[in-house]
Amino acid sequence: MTDSPVSEIDFDHLNRYVGGDRELTREVFGLFRNQVDMWGRSLAADADDDLWANVTHSLKGSARAVGAMSLAEACERAESLVGDDRRPGAREVAVDTLEQRIEQVLAEIIRWEYNDDMAQLRS
C-alpha cells in the first residue's frame, strides 16, 4: 500500500522497518495504539515537568516508529515546554495539537487496515 498526498503516515519509512509485511505492520499499529492509550491519558497541560517530558518523549518515539512524522515533530516541540521554556498557554495549545494529530494518525491506521482487509477479501 502506498501513502496518499495527505497521509499522516510515511509508509516508505514504516516499510523500511517491517519489510512490507502486512501482519507486522498491523502489529506495529497495535503497539502504537497501546502507547497512545497509555501515555495519552497522562497528557495534561498541568502535569509536572518530569511527567510532561516523559509523556511527550514516549509519544514522539511511538510516532516515529509508525512513520507519523508530523506527530513526532509536534511531540518534540511539546517536549521542550518544561522549566523556563514553559510559557503560559503553550502546553494547552500543545495538548490540543497532539490530540488532533493523534486522531489523524489513528484515522490513517483505520483507513490502511480497511484497505488491507478489502484487499485480503478480494484475494
Structural domain of 100: 11-122
Q: Which one, of 26, 30, 40, 45, lies nearest residue 87 by Cα? A: 45
71 found inside a domain: yes
CATH code, 44: 1.20.120.160
Spatial contact of 3 and 11, defined as CB atoms under 8 Å apart: yes
Structural domains of the chain, count: 1
57 found inside a domain: yes
70 found inside a domain: yes
The model's pLDDT over 66-101, given as tens digits with 9 standing for 90+, comes to 999 999 999 999 999 999 888 889 999 999 999 999
**Cα–Cα distance between 114 and 81 in angstroms, integer?**
37
The model's pLDDT over 29-68, given as tens digits with 9 standing for 90+, comes to 999 999 999 999 999 999 999 999 999 999 999 999 999 9
